[in-house]
Structure formats: structure tokens, C-alpha cells
Amino acid sequence: MLALYRSVLYLYPEDHRREFGDEMQAVFAEAERSVAVLGASSRMAFYGRELFGLIAGAMEEHIRCLTGIRSWGVLPWRRRAMRSDFRFSKATPVLMALILVAILIAIEKATAIRNSVYPASSVHVGPLHAEHFTFVPSLMLMFACAYLVGMIGWAIVYALHRSGVHRLDGMKGGTE
């Protein structure tokens, strides 16, 4: 199968193949060894995925060479991130945020109890009201500022991408 992989690798532009070809072959060979112990259907799925990815990658590389821009939107079916062995569930950030909110509410309630002024212990104590409710609004302000800074950063990166400044990364320096 490695011979077929090498053959399909010739679909890539020559510069890309020269720079990354050996590494791509080594990674494929290592991945092929790891799926060798699996069943035939798993191996066939692996080979299909790899060959499809190789052909789609070659198409994207040719588009990049012709236009000078990354063609992320041209082939929407491609995966953009490498998968690691350990991944968080999609519900993890939501659960962590809920836990954080519960902890912050508990801290606010404890602060309200500590700061409340109540009569002697022999008299019935009515409902406790928070006198200083500053922690949660401060935290909300901090998150809002972080969100605003993130949006400004994204806008700058987006504007640079749209203006063509990203093409400067392919230029060679004067001293080599």
C-alpha cells in the first residue's frame, strides 16, 4: 500500500512533495503499522480515508499555489484539526461553566452571611440580604472585557487575511 501512497503523492506540487513527501510517507507507514492488527474493514476504512485525504490535500495545495491563498472554504468536508488520543466531551465546557457559576453563587451567599448585620442570637433572625454584591459583577465585567479583546483580535486577524498581508509569509529574506 505504501507504493500506491507514493504514487498518489505525485499529485502534489513538486515543491510541496520535495519538502514534505518523506515525512508524509513516514507518518503513513507508521499509521499503517498501527492498523495492521485491526480487522479488514478497519484497514480498508483507514486506506480509504488516507487516500481521500491525500487527493483532497493535493487539490488544496494546487489551489494554494495558483491563488496564493489557503483554500479552507473550497473543500468544506476536510477536517481542520488533528485528533489526539484524549479529547474532552463537548459538554465539558458547559458543565465546567455551570460548576463555576454554582461556586461563585455559594461564595456570594457566604459573603452575604458574613457581612450581614443581625441582632443577638436569642432573637429570631430574618432573611439575610447581601450588603456588598461585588464579586459576580466584577467577574462578569472581566469576562466581557476578555470577550471584547478576543473579538478585536479576531477582527484584526480577519482584516489582515482579507488584505493579503498573509502572503508575506512566503517571501524569502534578503540574507540567506
Q: Which residue has the higher pLDDT, 89 or 84?
A: 89
**CA–CA distance, 58 with 9 (Å, rounded to integer):** 8
pLDDT confidence bin for 59, thresholds 50/70/90: confident
Contact assessment for residue 130 and residue 108, using Cβ atoms and an 8 Å cutoff: yes
Taking the CA atoms of residue 112, residue 115, residue 119 and residue 125 in that order, the dihedral angle to the nearest 10 degrees is 10
**The residue to which cell 483532497 is assigned:** 56
Give residue 165's pLDDT: 55
- Write the CB contacts of 21 (distance below 8 Å, at least 6 apart in sequence): 9, 12
Sign of the four-CA dihedral 76, 78, 80, 83: positive
Over range 57-85, report the average pLDDT.
Answer: 65
For the chain, what are the domain ranges? 2-67, 92-116+130-167
Other beta carbons within 10 angstroms of residue 50's beta carbon come to 19
CA angle (61, 172, 12) in 5-degree steps: 20
pLDDT tens per residue across span 4-27: 888 888 888 888 888 888 898 888
Q: How many angstroms separate the Cα of 142 from the Cα of each of 120, 136, 137, 145, 146? A: 39, 10, 9, 5, 6
Instruction: Please tell me which of 111-120, 135-144, 154-163 the model is most confident about, judged by mean pLDDT.
Output: 135-144
Q: At 97, list the grid cell.
A: 461553566
Query: What is the residue-wise DSSP string for 62-116?
Result: HHHHHHSS--TTT-TTS--SPPPS----TTHHHHHHHHHHHHHHHHHHHHHHHH-
pLDDT at 164 > cutoff 80:
no
Over range 137-154, report the average pLDDT.
Answer: 86
pLDDT at 37 > cutoff 60:
yes
Over range 147-174, report the average pLDDT.
Answer: 72
131 DSSP 8-state letter: S
> For the stretch 20-39, what's the b/e string if a residue is b when 16 or more beta carbons lie within 10 angstroms of its beta carbon?
eeeebeeebeeebeeeeeee
Coil, helix or strand for 129? coil
